Amino acid sequence: MMEMVLEVNGLSVRRGSLTAVQAVSFGLAAETDTALVGPNGAGKSSLVQALLGIIPHQEGEVRLLGHRLTRQGRLPEAVRAQVAYLPQTFPLVGRIPLTVAEFVGLGRDPAGLRWPWRGGEQRRRAVLQALGKTASQDLADRLISELSPGQIKRVLLAFCLVRPRRLLVLDEAQAGLDAQAVESFYNLLFQLRRTEGWTILQVSHDLEMVRRTCTGVLCLNRSLRCSGPPNHALQPQQLEQVYGRGYVPYQHHHAPSPPLP
């Protein structure tokens, strides 16, 4: 039987008097990459934040790795430690007075900051290994504030890699990147899903890249309008139910390249 990393049943979320998400149900099987797509204001970020317990949900149930998320967003710490979240923007990165290695080390153990750390040879190796997996090892001694947007995205992935994770949630993680950096980021994400066994849920407006890289798609406009593999969920008639008539899909102008296997 296929392991389910995330199970959502009848989830509804209100933001003030507005129902942002209405009776949404879906599941994510282990080691899949699922895109959450829909127009601006469709409730995508509200859904993601409710799944993680950042904001409360009013109805329904969320289970992460078999454990029920309470209405107040509580989960066993051992479960929460296996979930990583990359928000759309990370405004504090440019003001954090830390080197890349010190910042990534916080993903393993927030208790210490110095690089190299006292008695922390194992931690140091874990940080360098995580940076190596994201082709960022040469950035270890650089300040976070000195990095380009593409470098910051790779360092954030290293932050997620420095300890074992089961679920990675990304809210438009490609925001702020040019087309070449987006291509590089998605190729890296694809490889890491395979090597690390990650299950991924990502909010995206780039339907071309979703079609090429994701295993499943959830089409949201307050409620779940359609779902399935990309070749089904991204058909024009399906997308019209989500975006309405006359929509223009967002696309980067990607360099031609073969579909990822």
Instruction: Please tell me the distance from the alpha carbon of residue 85 to that of residue 48, in angstroms, as a whole number.
Output: 9
Q: How wide is the angle at C-alpha 200 spanned by C-alphas 70 and 238, nearest 5°? A: 95
Half-sphere exposure of 132 (CA within 13 A, CB side): 6
Contact 53/73 with Cβ under 8 angstroms? Answer: yes
pLDDT value, residue 257: 44
Largest Cα separation within the chain, whole Å, is 61
Q: How confident is the model at residue 259, as a pLDDT?
A: 43
pLDDT of residue 181: 82
pLDDT at position 2, please?
A: 80
Kindly report the pTM of this predicted structure. Answer: 0.87
Beta bridge partners of 256: none
Residue 59, φ and ψ in degrees, nearest 5: -140, 155
Q: Could you tell me which of 40, 39, 44 has the C-alpha nearest to residue 21?
A: 44
At 200, phi and psi to the nearest 5?
A: -125, 135
Domains of the chain, residue spans: 1-82+167-261, 93-163
C-beta neighbour count of 36 within 10 angstroms: 29
- The pLDDT assigned to 258 comes to 40
The residue count for the chain = 261
pLDDT at 119: 47
The residue behind tokens 């899949």 is 32
For residue 234, the model assigns a pLDDT of 94
Q: What is the pLDDT of residue 248?
A: 59
- So what's the architecture of 1-82+167-261 in CATH? 3-Layer(aba) Sandwich (3.40)
Those residues of the chain that have pLDDT short of 50 are 113, 115, 117, 119, 253, 255-261
Cα–Cα distance, 246 to 209 (Å, whole number): 21
Report the candidate in 112, 121, 183 with the shortest Cα–Cα distance to residue 150. Answer: 183
For residue 141, the cross-strand partners are: none
Q: Is the dihedral of CA 261, 230, 252, 181 positive or negative?
A: negative
